[in-house]
Chain A
């Protein structure tokens, strides 16, 4: 039987975090009362006109740079005509054949294009029950209408749902690092559609694709894409043909349904928006976007690896910039040495509170643990004190006597006492049965209030009993 390979491309809409909307001076809305962030322009009142928000162009250029795209010198807005109550002008101002950014790449995925457009209004379905007269109705709230959107379209370079999810994560952290969007899928500031087709393994031709709409979480993206791959595989296995159409994934039922309505296929009648003039990207605009570029997660991960981190740790710290920043500060503090890089990364990713401590204090604690000045448990205790009350970790260790009881001289007498106190255990150990060594370790721990290293105690027991 023919083996099929999925071919997946993504279309991502990102709400930009400008202060004002794409084409008018209304402030962006964050849960305000309906229809309180509207003006003649974003309500589509007769006679009102759009003016492009420079802040949206700036953010668009930053995204273009981050995705290594070809930035257009001249970019044109078009009207995309369609009737829907969420579209006040009955057209969306978008871009068509002269988008802000041309081809680019992020990681293993090629970017087809990046363009700017405006978001639609929100429709609140009140249904028949919400109505006095029992009619089925919706309420339109134009607060969101006109919020700047960037649409990112990839080439069909993804080969599995998991890979799509991974890559979208990379895109999200990249955009978050740029500071251009909240990129929150739950709140709709990041939305993803997927174009999916299957083809026989080894083939370079593309099969018929379907478009899976609006998966509103990373989990649903993965599940939805997998469900659609399975659906298409079944169709093809039965020798039938996939129909090109737009689909909706219902996360509750995990069912895929067609969005195709009885009406004629969309004919958006794109034409150049006569109310706007082309945007010419000046040297100044480009320089400003370049100057605002931070180090991006992918590049940071590579750099962190050169500091001696494992690939996983490097990616984790790079993808969570706040952790990455802590890490780099800690590593730069007086207490740190290059060998401390991986342990620091481990603490930051595994230990509660590590990200809350002052980076220099964290470095001091990890350094003490690594050179066995304190045990790991004691290190954790110091960490929680530092997080709660601040202070110098070394001073805390000193004052509280938390330093490790280490070395044969210090630890030896404790081990002797423990063996003496537990003669039957000592007897078993002498006989070569190491199972009850925990009793001795426990005894020593009690005596030293946890400041001994269990491994050291075991070693001394063996030494003293000549094992």
Chain B
């Protein structure tokens, strides 16, 4: 079960605005999904290691050698807003 407040809390963490209608709907849908996935609680997993990487890979290190960077016009090409060679954003210090 996940209630409205929890949906709102998680949406805040995820920087996701939800309309009131969406909050209600999500609370219902997520609850039924969680009811299903919570069935793994039945399993006895005492002492079972967690799998993060399913295929064992040895060290994947990169030599400290430069590769070309992108030209600045390419870097900024898809930006919604730019100024002075940088990405323009509303100030995080504002408000």
Partner-B contacts on A (CB < 8 A): 18-20, 24-27, 33-40, 43, 51-57, 76, 83-85, 123-127, 131, 135-142, 263-264, 267, 269, 272, 274, 276-280, 282
Partner-A contacts on B (CB < 8 A): 9, 12-13, 15, 52-53, 57-70, 72, 75-76, 83-94
B86 touches A141 (CB 8 A): yes
A137 touches B86 (CB 8 A): no
User: Smallest Cβ distance from A30 to chain B, in angstroms?
Assistant: 14
Query: Complex: how many Å from CA A335 to CA B26?
Result: 85
B59 touches A135 (CB 8 A): no
- Return the contact of A33 from the options B52, B65, B72, B90 (Cβ within 8 A): B72
- Return the contact of B69 from the options A18, A19, A39, A264 (Cβ within 8 A): A39
B52 touches A137 (CB 8 A): no
User: Smallest Cβ distance from A284 to chain B, in angstroms?
Assistant: 10
Chain A residue at minimum C-beta to C-beta distance from B85: A34
Question: Which B residues lie within 8 Å of A20 (CB)?
Answer: 64-67
Query: Complex: how many Å from CA A40 to CA B87?
Result: 15
Known contacts A35-B75, A51-B62: A139-B67 contact under CB 8 Å: no
Question: Interface majority SS on B: helix, strand, loop or mixed?
Answer: loop
Given contacts A19-B64, A33-B72, 12 further A-B contacts (CB under 8 A): A25-B65, A35-B76, A43-B75, A84-B92, A85-B87, A85-B92, A123-B92, A136-B90, A136-B93, A137-B91, A138-B89, A139-B87
B66 touches A139 (CB 8 A): no
Chain A residue at minimum C-beta to C-beta distance from B15: A83
A277 touches B69 (CB 8 A): no
B59 touches A26 (CB 8 A): no
A54 touches B62 (CB 8 A): yes
User: Smallest Cβ distance from B44 to chain A, in angstroms?
Assistant: 23
A280 touches B67 (CB 8 A): no
Question: Which B residues lie within 8 Å of A33 (CB)?
Answer: 72, 85
B69 touches A36 (CB 8 A): yes
Question: Which B residues lie within 8 Å of A131 (CB)?
Answer: 83
Question: Which A residues lie within 8 Å of B66 (CB)?
Answer: 19-20, 25-27
Known contacts A52-B62, A264-B9, A264-B12: A39-B70 contact under CB 8 Å: yes
Question: Which A residues lie within 8 Å of B60 (CB)?
Answer: 51-52, 276-277
Question: Which A residues lie within 8 Å of B63 (CB)?
Answer: 54-55
Query: Complex: how many Å from CA A375 to CA B88?
Result: 67
A26 touches B91 (CB 8 A): no
- Return the contact of B59 from the options A25, A53, A136, A280 (Cβ within 8 A): A280
User: Smallest Cβ distance from A203 to chain B, in angstroms?
Assistant: 38
Question: Can you spell out 12 A-B residue pairs with CB atoms less than 8 angstroms apart?
Answer: A25-B65, A26-B66, A34-B84, A35-B76, A35-B85, A39-B67, A52-B61, A53-B64, A136-B90, A140-B86, A278-B53, A279-B59
- Return the contact of A35 from the options B62, B64, B72 (Cβ within 8 A): B72
A53 touches B86 (CB 8 A): no
Query: Complex: how many Å from CA A269 to CA B13?
Result: 10
Known contacts A36-B72, A38-B75, A136-B91: A124-B86 contact under CB 8 Å: yes
B90 touches A137 (CB 8 A): yes
Question: Which A residues lie within 8 Å of B83 (CB)?
Answer: 126, 131, 137, 139
Question: Which A residues lie within 8 Å of B68 (CB)?
Answer: 25, 39
Question: Which B residues lie within 8 Å of A76 (CB)?
Answer: 52
B70 touches A38 (CB 8 A): yes
A127 touches B84 (CB 8 A): no
Chain B residue at minimum C-beta to C-beta distance from A272: B52
User: Smallest Cβ distance from A145 to chain B, in angstroms?
Assistant: 11
Question: Which A residues lie within 8 Å of B64 (CB)?
Answer: 18-20, 53-56
User: Smallest Cβ distance from A52 to chain B, in angstroms?
Assistant: 5
Query: Complex: how many Å from CA A52 to CA B64?
Result: 9
Chain B residue at minimum C-beta to C-beta distance from A90: B15
A136 touches B15 (CB 8 A): no
B69 touches A139 (CB 8 A): no
Among B66, B67, B68, B86, which residue has the most Cβ atoms of chain A within 10 A?
Answer: B86
Known contacts A43-B75, A56-B64: A137-B89 contact under CB 8 Å: yes
A54 touches B61 (CB 8 A): yes
User: Smallest Cβ distance from A100 to chain B, in angstroms?
Assistant: 13
Question: Which A residues lie within 8 Å of B86 (CB)?
Answer: 34-35, 124, 139-141
Known contacts A136-B94, A138-B93: A38-B69 contact under CB 8 Å: yes
Question: 10 shortest A-B CB distances, which residue pairs?
Answer: A25-B67, A55-B64, A139-B86, A54-B61, A136-B94, A140-B87, A51-B62, A277-B57, A272-B52, A34-B85
